[in-house]
Amino acid sequence: MERGTNRPPPLPLEYMEKKSQGPLDKSGLGSTIRSALLTRALRNRKKKYKAPGAIGNPDDRPDIDAIAQSYRQVRADMRRFIMEVDDDLLDKAIFKHPVIGRINLAQTLSFLREHMARHAEQVQERIHHKF
């Protein structure tokens, strides 16, 4: 949950849309290094990471159709945001990752790609363990 509220934390897109409305600092060498280290960590499939408490545990029997529809909608919304984002924001620290801090849009997209690849592998592992 967001601190001091009963709401779940905002999705990356919701967060970036909100932050894009105000002044932002430029991302720098530090965010580049932290982003690269995060990418490396996410590619290490031997290491397990605990999901934030607000996320909870996955269902044993998830509604695959609902998940797929939600994923398609989030991707379409993200694509719209990327296509419409002002060029002046491209080098700005628009997203705050809970571990590595503020990163720019390209670094955020890199993180999301690695994050989703990791989840895709986890899904495959669960499927193979069930059968």
Q: Are 9 and 2 in contact (CB under 8 A)?
A: yes
Q: What residue segments make up the domains of the chain, in order of their start?
A: 12-50+61-130
Q: Is 29 helix (H, G, I), strand (E, B) or coil?
A: helix
Averaged pLDDT of the chain: 85
- pLDDT for res 130: 65
Looking at residue 102, the DSSP 8-state letter turns out to be E
pLDDT per residue as tens digits for the range 27-68: 999 999 999 999 999 998 888 877 766 666 667 777 888 888
Residue 9 pLDDT exceeds 60? no
- CA Rg, the chain, in Å? 16
Q: How far apart are the first and last CA of the chain?
A: 35
Measured CA to CA, the distance from residue 82 to residue 87 in angstroms comes to 10
**What are the structure tokens assigned to 67, written together?**
């998940």
